[in-house]
Amino acid sequence: MSERLNGRLAPLPVGTVAPDFSLPHTAHARVALHGLPSSPIVLVFYPMDWEPVSREQLRLYQDFGDDFVFFGAQLLGVSTDHVYSHAAFARDAQIGFPLLADVQPRGLVAGEYGVYHETQGVSARALFVLDSQRIIRFGKTYPDALNPGVDEVLSVLEALAREREDMEDNP
């Protein structure tokens, strides 16, 4: 687990290999980080389903879905809610990307990424961008009442796309 600094959250730093995980997506299906295609991954840790800022944030990412697809990125939402809450919430909010249940043990994955509020029993609002090698290229926590938007994430994805192009042009 990531260390806490003076009681504050300590998200894993850029350059760290992202901890692998396998979390339930539905009652009968799991998503494993190591099982995803070799492409950028955006991990969206959020406090809980049905919370207004989380709904606004996840809807925004859904609305920018074409941009994420353009950069070849896979979006994954992670909270400590159960798969049945995720399913109802995703249906109601029209979220099409996977929402993963960090429930058994509660907050284990959020804790490994350094973004679990132990006293509240929920994940912090945090974003991580992993490159195709599963190296953290961006990681940041945000106040729970703040929607972080998409600008920072899309900028990182654009930079990763430029790096891939440069590598293909200059092998």
* Structural domains in the chain, sorted by start: 24-29+36-169 (3.40.30.10)
Residue 109: the pLDDT is 98
pLDDT over 70 at 58, yes or no: yes
Could you tell me what percent of the chain has a pLDDT over 90? 88
Residue 167 has what pLDDT? Answer: 77
Q: How confident is the model at residue 131 (pLDDT cuts 50, 70, 90)?
A: very high
Predicted pLDDT of residue 1: 41
- pLDDT, mean of residues 115-141: 96
Model pLDDT for residues 66-110, shown as the tens digit of each residue: 999 999 999 999 999 999 999 999 999 999 999 999 998 999 999
pLDDT tens digit string along 17-41?
999 999 999 999 999 999 999 999 9
Indicate if the pLDDT at residue 9 is higher than 90.
Answer: no
Give pLDDT, residue 3. Answer: 39
What pLDDT is recorded for position 7? 54
Q: What is the mean pLDDT of the chain?
A: 93
Region 115-133: mean pLDDT is 95
> SS3 letters for the chain?
CCCCECCECCCCCCCCECCCCEEEEECCEEEEHHHCCCCCEEEEECCCCCCHHHHHHHHHHHHCHHHHHHCCCEEEEEECCCHHHHHHHHHHHCCCCCEEECECCECHHHHHCCCEECCCCEECEEEEEECCCCEEEEEEEECCCCCCCCHHHHHHHHHHHHHHHHHHHCC
